[in-house]
Amino acid sequence: MNEHTPSIRSQLILQLAILLTILSLITGLLISYLITDKATKVFDHSLLAATNSIAQRLSIRDGKTYLHMPYFVLDIMQSTSGEKIFYRIQRSDGEILAGFSGLAFPQGYQQSSVPIFYSTEFAGNQLRAVYLPVLEKTLGETKYTHIILAESLHGRSSFSAEILAILAVVTFFGVILSIVIAVFAVNNCLSPLRKIRQSLITRSMYDLAPLNTKVPKEVEQLIASINQLMTRLREGIEHIQHFNSDVSHQLRTPLAEIKTLAEVASSEFDQTSAQSILSKINQRADFLIRTTQQLLIYAKTNKSFLDNSHLTIVDLTKLCRDTAANLAPAIYKKGQQLAFITQPNQAIYITGDPIILEGLVINLIENASLYSDSDPSPTNDTITIKVFSENCQAILEIIDQGPGIAEDQLAKVTQRFYRLDRLKQGSGLGLAIVRQICDFHQATLQLSNSKPHGLKVRIAFALEEKPTATPQRAGK
C-alpha cells in the first residue's frame, strides 16, 4: 500500500470532521446572534418599564408638567441594577425637570409619538437609551414631555459573555461528540470492506470460490469484479493444470519410444535395420514436434487467455486466400490439390483477431490434408475452401474428400486428443483448437459429412460492414 495515499477511512473522517466543525461554528454564530438579540430586547424592555414608571410620576398643574419622584429613587435604580443610570426629563418648553441636559436625543424624536431605542455616549460611557414622549394634556395644542433613560452596557456585555462562553463550551463538546459519532459511523459503514479483506486474507491460496454477494449496494460492483477475476483465475489455473497433464500424457509415450528405438539402433549392426529404426525415430520426432506445437497453440487459444483488445475488422476472403497460398507447397508435395471458391469481387469482413484466425484456417487445412491422405485414390486429393456471405453471416467452409466421420463421432472429434485413426500421426488437437477459436469469436462450428464422401467444416461468423480504413493484414 502506498503510504502517501490516505485511506478512505481517514479521508471520510477528516471530511466529516471539517463539515461538522463548520456546521457547528455556523450554528454557534447563529445561536449567538439570536441570544444577543433576545438579551438586548429583554434589557430594552426592562429599561422601557423603568421609563414608564417615571412617566407615571408626571402630573400637570396650571398647564405645566411636574415630576413627583424623589432623586433617591433613581439612585436606588442605579444601585439595584449595578449599571450607571443617566436620565433627562424635559418639558415641551425646554425646561429640564430632572437629569442631565447633555444627554442627547435620538434622531427624529420630534416626529415620534412612540418609544425609540438607540445607542449613545455620555460622560465617556457607552449607553443604551430609550426615549419616551409623554403627551401633555393641554387645551388647544399637542405637546410632549420628553423622558430619556439610559444605562451603561456592562450588564448586557457580562450577560452576553456568559451566554457565549456556555455556548462555546457546548459547541466544543458538540463538535467532539459529532466527530466521535462520525468515526463510529465510518467504521460501521466500512465494516463490509474489512470483512471482505479478512475473507481474502484467511483464504487458502487454492480457494478461488466466489465471495459472498450479500453486501451493501455500493460494494456489489466491487464484489462482482473480484468474483469475475476469481473465475478467470480459476479457469486459467485449471487450464494450466490440464495443459501440464496433457503435456505429460502426450509426450511421455513418444519420448519413451524414441529412447527405445535409439537403444535398439545403437546395438544394431545391420545397415538396413538401422536405417529403418532411424526412420521411425525421425517420424516419432516429427510427431513430437507437431504435438508440442499443437499443445502450445491449444493453450494460447483458450478464451481465458485471449484479449478482446486485439479484435479488428478482418477481410476473411483475403486471410483465407493468403493462408492457403502459404500452405499450398506442402499440400502439393503430398500430391493433393487446393480449390479456393469465393464470391467474385466481393470481400467478406468479420470482427476477429487476424493472427488467431490464421491459425484456425491452418488447422482446418492441415486436418483436411491429414485425413484426405488416408486413401491414395486420385479422387480424394482435393481440399476445397469456400468463403461467402449468407443471411447476414460470413461463412467459411473447408471440405475434404477423405473418408468422413461416422455420425455418432461428429460431436466427439472437437474434444482434446480425440483421434479417429490411432495409426495417424495426428495429435488429436486440431479440431479442439478450432472449437476454442470459434468460441472466442462467438462463431458457430458445424461438422457434417459431404457426398459422396468427405468431411465439411462450416463456420458462421457475424458479418461486418466494409471498414472505412484498410483492414488489418493477417499476421504470420
How does the average pLDDT of the chain come out, rounded?
79
CA distance 163 to 75: 29
CATH numbers and ranges of domains, the chain = 8-161 (3.30.450), 217-300 (1.10.287), 309-462 (3.30.565.10)
Which position has the grid cell 487450464? 239
Burial (CB count <10 Å: 0-12, 13-18, 19+), residue 470: exposed
Determine the length of the chain. Answer: 476
Instruction: For residue range 172-196, list pLDDT tens digits in order.
Output: 888 888 888 888 888 888 887 888 7
CA distance 435 to 143: 114
Q: Mean of the pLDDT values across residues 326-337? A: 90
Three cell numbers, residue 366:
492441415
Q: Which residues contact 382 (CB under 8 A, 6 or more apart)?
A: 336, 337, 338, 339, 372, 401
CA distance 26 to 18: 12
Among 32-41, 137-146, 154-163, 199-208, which stretch is predicted with the lowest mean pLDDT? Answer: 137-146
| pLDDT at residue 429, rounded to an integer | 72
* Residue 121 phi, psi dihedral angles, 5° rounding: -135, 140
Higher pLDDT, 50 or 350: 350
User: The pTM is what?
Assistant: 0.49
